[in-house]
């Protein structure tokens, strides 16, 4: 196996990689100047090329178009030689397997452009078959309009063939579509090819512009991946053609593929600008964990309140007023689109403090249905002696959809707006006679709730049966009552970072532990993929993991998902926080 491609960064299925040639290439990128095709075996027999260090050599091949019978593909399949230079193999979903090359060229892609489900199936099938740390190359399909979505789907290499051909046909391409040259009044671009009048602009210039536009689009994609914001961009790009919208939504429906590759947390903000945001893995994962792992530990009434623009909510002016009125006599849960419901203990947990949404005072039907569904599931799981809705009028339909399905009567306290003097006074009076919960209970419930959310149902009690909190919120440190530190709260993500003692408790508990098995060495700083013998397939990027080997016991944060760790031959797999030599 050669080692000329390495993934350095990830944003869901999209990757920021490096093709290590004489002049390295950062992907996703155009492969035009970095590829040499050894030729098709359909036309004639080919000698195995000597290869070059400045090119990826596409090995002699037989390409099969989409729809070729599987028996035909088997009969004419090509055995890939083992070479020691940068190489690629031409494959179809049927013939794809680990051929020991750096890149795989999908031969059937051109036939499925415009057919969303067919292209989705082929990308999924080949991505699940080839090694995780190899590049996927789709030739003859890229335009400035579709490049971002192809990268989002997991494609690493493209070429300018289609864009150039369209240019020679007099079709002027932009990131949102294409126009015939004769329909343009002026050139909407400032690339070198477009620095002339429309009257002087030729089809050769158009081809050059199209390639420039495609390169610029891929540069934008790479920057979006670096920032962890590609999804936000693709939600807009997918609107520019119906088949792209279909392809985008087809991938949203492929939960296992996208979820496996989506990190547990990021530092970047989610821009909630359309109903498609509700389909994001991060949003669905949060809603699922809140309604299947989280358990309310307070005996007090529930107060439902609206979210705030300021994150975390408790730092906002409106929530400050709510807290002053409640005075720790009730459990506060925020309702919001696109997140759903956010218990106060999880207000810093990604993505609850990492999103921004358009506020119009009007909810879409999709938003209402989603938040109502999450709220109903939350109330089915958590019992409260009373439920108080301190919510504005535009939240009312959500409550009305849930109300018939619960036994507890909902009390309403808002007049006009939640922060008016009368509304705040109503909330205070409604809670008259309720007992306060203490600081210790509040701190303990927060750490245990995060543990449930992060590690699994019941983790709070399993990991922290004897708990003492040090430091201030949101930087709690969880200790045993005897003073041994077990974990620390990470305020940027609202998660827990375990110590070695905490990791041992995790191993000894009934909560499923995410393990990474390594070879006989002691890691210092990072565990690289080649040193990993096995990894739990449930591991996601950003997860806490326990690292075990003959010579070491460690705890850290996953930098790859589990299957990627075991398949990869290079790259950082685990960022080790604490290690103990055995």
pLDDT digits (tens, 9 = 90+) for 430-455: 999 999 999 999 999 999 999 999 99
Please give the pLDDT value at position 2.
59
- DSSP secondary-structure letter at 558? E
The C-alpha atoms of residue 287 and residue 374 are separated, in whole angstroms, by 7
With b meaning 16 or more CB within 10 Å and e meaning fewer, what string describes 42-51?
eeeeeeebeb
d(CA 34, CA 20): 11
Place of tokens 């609206």: 306
What is the average pLDDT across 537-548? 98
Q: For the chain, how many helices (H) and strands (E)? A: 18, 29
CA pair distance 491, 350, nearest whole angstrom: 10
Contact 322, 427 (CB under 8 A): yes
Q: d(Cα 524, Cα 300) in Å, to the nearest integer?
A: 47
pLDDT digits (tens, 9 = 90+) for 127-160: 999 999 999 999 999 999 999 999 999 999 999 9
> Do 565 and 573 touch, CB atoms closer than 8 A?
yes
Mean predicted confidence (pLDDT) in 510-514 = 97
pLDDT at residue 328 above 80?
yes
Residue 313 DSSP code: G
Output 358 or 195, whichever has higher pLDDT.
195
Are 176 and 137 contacting, i.e. CB atoms less than 8 angstroms apart? no
pLDDT of 359 reads 77
DSSP class per residue in 193-259:
GGSS-TTT--HHHHHHHHHHHHHHHHHHHHHHHHHT-HHHHHHHHGGGSHHHHHHHHHHHH-HHHHH
Instruction: Evaluate the omega torsion of the peptide bond into residue 89 and state whether it is cis, within 30 degrees of 0.
Output: no
The pTM score is: 0.94
CA 568 to chain centre: 20
Angle at 399 between CA 397 and CA 401, to 5 degrees: 70
Q: How many CB atoms lie within 10 A of CB 188?
A: 10
**Per-residue pLDDT averaged across 203-225, rounded?**
98
* Cα–Cα dist 88/55, whole Å: 10
d(CA 38, CA 536): 40
Query: Could you tell me the sign of the dihedral formed by the alpha carbons of 356, 357, 361, 366, in that order?
Result: negative
Q: Are strands 56-58 and 87-91 parallel, antiparallel or unpaired?
A: parallel
Residues of the chain above pLDDT 90, percent:
90
The average pLDDT across 68-78 equals 85
**Residue matched to tokens 């919208």:** 245
Q: Assess whether pLDDT exceeds 70 at residue 419.
A: yes
What is the token pair recorded at 71?
């028996």
C-alpha 382, offset from chain centre: 29
> Which long-range contacts does 459-462 make (Cβ < 8 Å, 24+ apart)?
459/293, 459/509, 459/511, 460/295, 460/297, 462/505, 462/509, 462/510, 462/511
Residue 73's pLDDT band (cuts 50, 70, 90): confident
DSSP bridge partners of 355: 270
- State the pLDDT at residue 542: 97
- Find how far residue 46's CA is from the centre of its chain: 43
Per residue in 159-206, pLDDT (tens digit) is: 999 999 999 999 999 999 999 999 999 999 999 999 999 999 999 999
Tokens found for residue 433: 């006679």
Q: Which residues sit opposite 61 in a β-bridge?
A: 40
Cβ–Cβ < 8 Å for 533, 517 = yes
3-class secondary structure, 480: coil
Partners of 547 in the beta sheet? 516, 554
Mean pLDDT of 571-575: 96
| Distance of alpha carbon 329 from alpha carbon 29, whole angstroms | 57
Q: How buried is 539 (Cβ within 10 angstroms: 0-12 exposed, 13-18 middle, 19+ buried)?
A: buried
Over residues 252-272, the mean pLDDT reads 93
- Inform me whether the pLDDT recorded for 54 exceeds 70: yes
Q: How far apart are the first and last CA of the chain?
A: 33
Q: Are strands 35-37 and 29-30 parallel, antiparallel or unpaired?
A: unpaired
| Integer Cα distance of 271 and 166 in angstroms | 34
- CA proximity to 521, closest of 579, 571, 566: 579
Cα–Cα distance measured from residue 276 to residue 426, given in angstroms and rounded to the nearest whole number: 37
Tell me the C-alpha distance between 136 and 154, whole Å.
7
Q: Is-contact 542 264, C-beta < 8 A?
A: yes
Tell me the C-alpha distance between 309 and 370, whole Å: 20
Dihedral (Cα; 386, 390, 395, 398), 10-degree rounding: 0
SS3 call for 551: coil
Instruction: Render pLDDT for 87-133 as a digit per residue (tens, 0 to 9).
Output: 999 999 988 999 999 999 999 998 888 899 999 999 999 999 999 99
d(CA 504, CA 513): 10
Specify the pLDDT at position 242. Answer: 95
Which long-range contacts (C-beta less than 8 Å, at least 24 apart) are formed by 50-54? 50/85, 51/83, 51/84, 51/85, 51/86, 51/87, 52/85, 52/86, 53/21, 53/22, 53/85, 53/86, 54/21, 54/22, 54/23
Q: Per-residue pLDDT for 1 more than 60?
A: no
């Amino acid at each position: 196996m050669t080692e000329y491609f390495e993934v350095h960064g990830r944003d869901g299925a999209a990757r920021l990689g490096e093709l290590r040639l004489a002049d390295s290439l950062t992907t996703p990128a155009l492969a035009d100047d970095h590829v040499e095709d050894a030729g098709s075996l359909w036309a004639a027999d080919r000698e195995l090329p000597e290869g070059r260090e400045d090119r990826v050599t596409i090995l002699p091949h037989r390409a099969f178009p989409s729809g070729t019978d599987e028996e035909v593909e088997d009969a004419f399949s090509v055995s890939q030689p083992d070479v020691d230079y940068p190489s690629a193999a031409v494959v179809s979903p049927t013939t794809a397997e680990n051929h020991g090359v750096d890149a795989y060229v999908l031969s059937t892609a051109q036939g499925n452009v415009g057919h969303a489900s067919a292209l989705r199936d082929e990308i999924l099938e080949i991505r699940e078959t080839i090694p995780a740390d190899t590049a996927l190359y789709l030739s003859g399909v890229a335009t400035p309009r579709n490049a971002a979505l192809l990268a989002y789907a997991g494609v690493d290499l493209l070429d300018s063939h289609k864009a150039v051909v369209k240019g020679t046909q007099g079709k002027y391409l932009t990131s949102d579509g294409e126009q015939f040259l004769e329909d343009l009044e002026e050139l909407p671009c400032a690339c070198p090819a477009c620095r002339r009048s429309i009257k002087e602009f030729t089809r050769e210039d158009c081809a050059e512009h199209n390639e420039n536009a495609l390169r610029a689009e891929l540069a934008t994609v790479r920057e979006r991946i670096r920032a962890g914001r590609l999804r936000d961009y693709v939600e807009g790009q997918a609107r520019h053609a119906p088949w792209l919208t279909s392809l985008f939504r087809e991938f949203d429906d492929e939960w296992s593929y996208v979820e496996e590759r989506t990190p547990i947390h990021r530092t970047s903000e989610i821009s909630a600008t359309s109903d498609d945001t509700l389909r994001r893995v991060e949003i669905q994962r949060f809603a699922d964990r809140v309604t299947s792992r989280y358990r309310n530990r307070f005996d007090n009434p529930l107060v439902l309140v609206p979210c705030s623009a300021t994150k975390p909510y408790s730092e906002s002016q409106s929530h400050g007023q709510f807290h002053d009125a409640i005075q720790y006599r009730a459990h506060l849960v925020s309702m919001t689109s696109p997140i759903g419901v956010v218990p106060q203990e999880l207000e810093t947990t990604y993505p609850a403090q990492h999103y921004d949404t358009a506020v119009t005072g009007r909810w879409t039907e999709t938003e209402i249905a989603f938040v109502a569904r999450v709220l109903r599931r939350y109330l089915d799981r958590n019992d409260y002696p009373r439920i108080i809705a301190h919510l504005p009028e535009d939240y009312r339909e959500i409550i009305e959809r849930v109300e018939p399905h619960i036994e507890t009567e909902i009390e309403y306290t808002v007049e006009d707006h939640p922060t008016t003097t009368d509304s705040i006074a109503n909330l205070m009076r409604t809670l008259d006679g309720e007992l306060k919960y203490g600081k210790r209970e509040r701190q303990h419930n927060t750490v245990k709730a995060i543990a449930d959310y992060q590690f699994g149902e019941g983790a709070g009690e399993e990991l922290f049966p004897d708990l003492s909190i040090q430091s201030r919120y949101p930087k709690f440190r969880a200790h045993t009552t005897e003073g041994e530190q077990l974990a620390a709260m990470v305020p940027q993500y609202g998660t827990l970072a375990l110590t070695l003692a905490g990791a041992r408790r995790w191993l000894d508990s009934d909560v499923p532990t995410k393990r990474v098995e390594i070879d006989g060495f002691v890691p210092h700083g990072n565990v690289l993929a080649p040193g990993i013998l096995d990894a739990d397939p449930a591991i996601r990027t950003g997860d806490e993991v326990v690292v075990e080997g003959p010579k070491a016991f460690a705890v850290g944060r996953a930098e790859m998902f589990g299957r990627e760790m075991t398949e990869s031959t290079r790259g950082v797999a685990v960022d080790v926080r604490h290690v103990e030599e055995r």
